[in-house]
Every structure is written in structure tokens, then in C-alpha cells.
């Protein structure tokens, strides 16, 4: 049983609820004559009231209370920085553990005030194991995670822009992409430098048909370089024939044309930002030992390796590979009742979804690689031959890969 004082804070956007507790006997009622703000704004003036409350509790107990709050991902950052700057002892509670504590009541009611009480119960209740260990990442790992989250966000925005761009392109330049069913299209790679350059110079087919092959070639050389003059000449001739046979779905003066130009400029801008962010992330990831080990895994290049390191953080903080599986959210749900053994259920997905996605991508590439054999690919074939669904087999391979990476880091051995 814990008899130490504590201060619990329920953090939310811009403000937080705060409650002080002198000891175990005060866990279910208001603290004994402690004057404190019920709601605290995230400002220096309000945060200083934490110091005042600590002083009051210390005068009554001769002990410095522990400040306890839940990890929110964003909103707790200002509070944490203030506590660190003032050398105030604190503990961050994992969201899953806090949620489990709130659900212990027969009638679970969630309010900001009750959340403070719930955190205090976790601290004092002898039935609970503890507040749980919460590792605070170093600035390097925190920077890598921020870069990766920014990279994913920008990538998502770019994908949305590409969808809008392709909708406009299908109207202005029908059958633009060269495929097996459409060999007479304009370009095989829509987002290549020469393709986007052509669309910027000639946003509508009517601007092409009145040009000569030489004039079109001159525009293409700006994006291909003079070293590709023969290729640009043949491309110019091909593009002229393509546009002459084309029936565009809009006129050159309609907003669709200017809209497509805007989408092209944004796609290129996002691509520059993506490359810059990834370069910064790779530079930081190279300073870790895990990065070089990950590059020995088939199909894992600098992109996936650096992003994996960013999301898993310091892998040495995990005591076993099972802890990583739980951190990822690949641990199975087990709900046993009567004759139902509760086995072979779905995964919990209560973990780092970003890391779970990266591991899934690596496994998917390894199983699809035609000229590369690995233990993961062999394991996947074995599971599918046993009748396991493909998705379940990929999850099983993901957990196997996590186990391999854990022992690679522990032993310093490369992937076999």
C-alpha cells in the first residue's frame, strides 16, 4: 500500500483538471483543506499553482508529492516541459492502463474530475500492480518520431492531391497513361519529371496541336536535358500524334485546366518536402545500431529502415520480443468463457499503428519478392498451405519478423 502524497492532473486541450491527495485515506474524498484550482489553464501563471500546491502538501506531509497524468500524445507536452524545467517529479501513465482503471467501477462514468480520482486510485490501490513503466524517449528518438509522423502526414496529403489531379487529367487528357491496354498513351509514368513538365508547358491538347515537333522538343529538353535530345525528339513526335487524335473533355479556358496546374505545383512541392524530411530522418537513424541491422533484411531500404527506427524508438527498453508485439498491437485477443477457449481471435490493435503498418509493409514485400528467398517467405508459404487465411498468415509473419529483429539487436547479428 502506498501512503505517499500525489497530485493528479487530467490533461486536455489548453486546460487541465488538477487534484491533490495527502495520502491513502484521502483517495475517495476531497483533500484535507487543500486550496487548489479545479481547472488549470496551460500557461505559466497557472502552472505556477502546481508549485504552490506542492508546497502546501509538503508542509502537511514533509514529502514531495508525485505529479501523475495520462499520456495524450500532444496536449501533455507543455505540462511535461514545465515539470522538467522545475525538477518536479512526475509519472506519465499509459492510456491503456488509465482506461482499464476507469473501467474497474461497476458503473463506469468518465468526467474530468473523476479521471483525477481514477489516477489517484491507481497510485494508492494495493490491488493494482503499479502505475506502470513509461519510458521517456530521448530527444533524438523523439525528433525521429516527429519527422516520421510529419512524413506520413505529408504523404497522405500528396496522395489526396494525386487523386484530384488524376480526375482532372482524365477529363483534359483521356487515356494519358501508357498501359498494356492503352499502348498509344502519352507517358508510362504519370508523375515523372518529363510528364509533369509536359503538362505544365501544355496544360491542354489544343496548345499542342498547333506546335511543331521541334517546338515541343524544345520544351521537353528543359526537363530531360540536352543529353536526351534523341529521346525528346521521338517523344515530341509521339505526343503530337497523341494530341491530334485526342478528344478532350473540356476547353482550354475552363477552370479544370488551371486547377490541374495548381495540383501539379502542389504535388511537386510536397515531393520536395517529403525528400527533405526523409533525408533528415535517415541522417538521424544512421546514428543507431538498429538501422544498419535492418538494412540486412531483404526488401528493407533506407526509407523503411529509418521510419522503423523512428517508431520503435530505443528497442533496448523492451525486455522481450513479446513486449514489442504488444507495443505494436499484434497480440491476440483472448476471451475465455465456458466452452469457448477464447483462442485464435483477432489481434487487439491496441498499440502503435504506425509501426504495425511498417512491419506489415516489410512482410508483404518479402512474401511477394520473386527472386528473394527468406525465412519469412518460407514461413508464409507454410502457413497458407496449412489453410490459414492470407491476412492471418501475414500477421503471423509480422510477429516472427518482430522476434527476429529483437534478437538481431540483442546479438548484433545480421538477418539470415
Whether 202 and 259 share a structural domain: yes
Whether 147 and 273 share a structural domain: yes
Confidence of residue 36 (pLDDT cuts 50, 70, 90): low
Q: What is the pLDDT of residue 133?
A: 64
pLDDT at 100 over 50: yes
Domain end residue (candidates: 263, 282, 301):
282
Whether 40 and 91 share a structural domain: yes
* Contact in structure between 90 and 80 (CB atoms under 8 Å): yes
Average pLDDT over residues 45-70: 88
CATH code for the domain of 58: 3.30.420
pLDDT at 347 over 90: no
Whether 183 and 239 share a structural domain: yes
Q: What is the pLDDT of residue 339?
A: 55
Q: Does 136 reside within a domain?
A: no
What range defines the domain where residue 327 resides?
288-335+345-411
Q: Does 223 reside within a domain?
A: yes
Q: How far is CA 403 from the centre of its chain?
A: 21
Confidence of residue 168 (pLDDT cuts 50, 70, 90): very high
Q: Which of 40, 50, 36 is nearest to 112 (CA)?
A: 40
Whether 386 and 367 share a structural domain: yes
Whether 266 and 325 share a structural domain: no
Confidence of residue 33 (pLDDT cuts 50, 70, 90): very low
For the chain, the domain total comes to 3
Which 3-state string (H, E, C) describes the chain?
CCCCCEEEEEECCCEEEEEEECCHHHCCCCCCCCCCCCEEECCHHHHHHHHHHHHHHHHHHCCCCEEEEECCCCCCHHHHHHHHHCCCCEEEECHHHHHHHHCCCCCCCCCHHHHHHHHHHHHHCCCCCCCCCCCCCCHHHHHHHHHHHHHHHHHHHHHHHHHHHHHHHHHHCCCCECCCCCCCCCECCCCCHHHHHHHHHCCCCHHHHCCCHHHHHHHHHHHHCHHHHHHHHHHHHHHHHHHHCCCCCCCCCCHHHHHHHHHHHHHHHHHHHHHHHHHHHHHHHCCCHHHHHHCCCCCCCHHHHHHHHHHHCCHHHCCCHHHHHHHHCCCECCCCECCECCCCCCECCCCCHHHHHHHHHHHHHHHHCCCCCCHHHHHHHHHHHCCCCHHHHHHHHHHHHHHHHHHHHHHCCCCC
Whether 253 and 229 share a structural domain: yes
Q: Does 111 reside within a domain?
A: yes
- Convert the pLDDT of each residue in 225-267 to its tens digit: 765 667 888 899 999 999 999 999 999 999 999 999 999 999 9
* Contact in structure between 384 and 397 (CB atoms under 8 Å): no
Domain end residue (candidates: 267, 282, 297):
282
Q: What is the pLDDT of residue 32?
A: 47
Whether 114 and 150 share a structural domain: no
Whether 55 and 105 share a structural domain: yes
Cα–Cα dist 408/213, whole Å: 58
Lowest mean pLDDT segment, chosen from 36-40, 135-139, 154-158: 36-40
Q: Does 129 reside within a domain?
A: no
Whether 212 and 327 share a structural domain: no
Q: What is the pLDDT of residue 348?
A: 83
Q: Does 112 reside within a domain?
A: yes
Q: Does 190 reside within a domain?
A: yes
pLDDT at 177 over 60: yes
Domain end residue (candidates: 264, 282, 300):
282
Q: Does 75 reside within a domain?
A: yes
Cα–Cα dist 221/385, whole Å: 53
CA dihedral 205, 211, 212, 218 (to 10 degrees): -90
Average pLDDT over residues 205-234: 84
Q: Name which residue leads in pLDDT, 230 or 110.
A: 230
Whether 305 and 389 share a structural domain: yes
Q: Does 19 reside within a domain?
A: yes
Whether 324 and 276 share a structural domain: no
Amino acid at each position: 500500500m502506498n501512503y505517499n502524497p500525489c497530485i493528479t492532473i487530467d490533461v486536455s486541450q489548453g486546460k487541465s483538471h488538477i487534484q491533490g491527495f495527502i495520502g491513502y485515506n484521502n483517495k475517495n474524498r476531497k483533500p484535507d483543506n487543500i486550496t487548489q484550482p479545479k481547472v488549470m489553464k496551460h500557461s505559466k501563471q497557472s502552472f505556477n499553482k502546481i508549485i504552490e500546491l506542492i508546497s502546501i502538501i509538503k508542509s502537511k506531509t514533509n514529502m514531495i508529492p508525485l505529479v501523475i497524468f495520462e499520456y495524450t500524445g500532444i496536449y501533455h507536452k507543455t505540462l511535461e516541459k514545465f515539470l522538467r524545467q522545475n525538477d518536479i517529479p512526475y509519472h506519465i501513465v499509459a492510456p491503456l492502463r488509465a482506461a482499464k482503471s476507469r473501467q474497474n467501477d461497476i458503473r463506469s462514468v468518465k468526467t474530468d474530475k473523476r479521471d483525477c480520482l481514477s489516477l489517484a486510485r491507481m497510485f494508492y490501490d494495493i490491488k493494482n500492480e503499479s502505475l506502470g513503466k513509461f519510458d521517456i524517449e530521448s530527444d533524438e528518438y523523439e525528433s525521429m518520431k516527429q519527422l516520421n509522423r510529419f512524413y506520413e502526414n505529408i504523404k497522405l496529403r500528396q496522395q489526396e492531391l494525386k487523386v484530384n489531379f488524376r480526375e482532372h487529367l482524365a477529363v483534359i487528357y483521356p487515356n494519358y497513361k501508357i498501359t498494356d491496354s492503352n499502348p498509344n498513351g502519352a507517358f508510362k509514368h504519370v508523375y515523372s519529371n518529363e510528364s509533369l513538365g509536359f503538362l505544365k508547358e501544355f496544360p491542354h491538347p489544343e496548345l499542342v496541336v498547333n506546335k511543331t515537333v521541334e517546338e515541343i522538343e524544345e520544351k521537353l529538353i528543359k526537363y530531360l536535358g540536352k543529353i536526351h535530345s534523341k529521346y525528346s525528339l521521338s517523344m515530341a513526335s509521339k505526343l503530337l500524334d497523341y494530341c491530334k487524335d485526342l478528344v478532350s473533355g473540356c476547353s482550354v479556358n475552363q477552370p479544370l485546366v488551371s486547377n490541374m496546374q495548381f495540383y501539379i505545383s502542389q504535388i511537386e512541392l510536397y515531393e520536395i518536402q517529403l525528400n527533405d524530411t526523409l533525408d533528415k530522418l535517415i541522417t538521424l537513424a544512421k546514428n543507431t545500431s538498429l538501422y544498419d541491422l535492418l538494412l540486412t533484411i531483404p526488401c528493407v531500404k533506407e526509407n523503411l529502415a529509418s521510419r522503423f527506427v523512428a517508431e520503435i524508438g530505443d528497442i533496448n527498453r523492451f525486455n522481450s520480443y513479446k513486449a514489442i508485439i504488444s507495443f505494436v498491437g499484434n497480440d491476440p485477443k483472448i476471451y475465455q468463457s465456458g466452452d469457448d477457449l477464447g483462442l485464435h481471435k483477432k489481434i487487439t490493435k491496441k498499440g502503435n499503428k504506425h509501426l504495425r503498418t511498417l512491419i506489415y509493409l516489410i512482410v508483404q514485400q518479402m512474401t511477394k519478392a520473386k527472386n528473394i528467398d527468406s525465412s519469412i517467405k518460407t514461413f508464409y508459404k507454410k502457413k497458407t498451405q496449412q489453410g490459414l487465411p492470407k491476412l492471418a498468415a501475414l500477421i503471423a509473419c509480422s510477429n516472427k519478423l518482430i522476434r527476429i529483429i529483437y534478437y538481431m539487436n540483442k546479438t548484433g547479428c545480421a538477418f539470415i
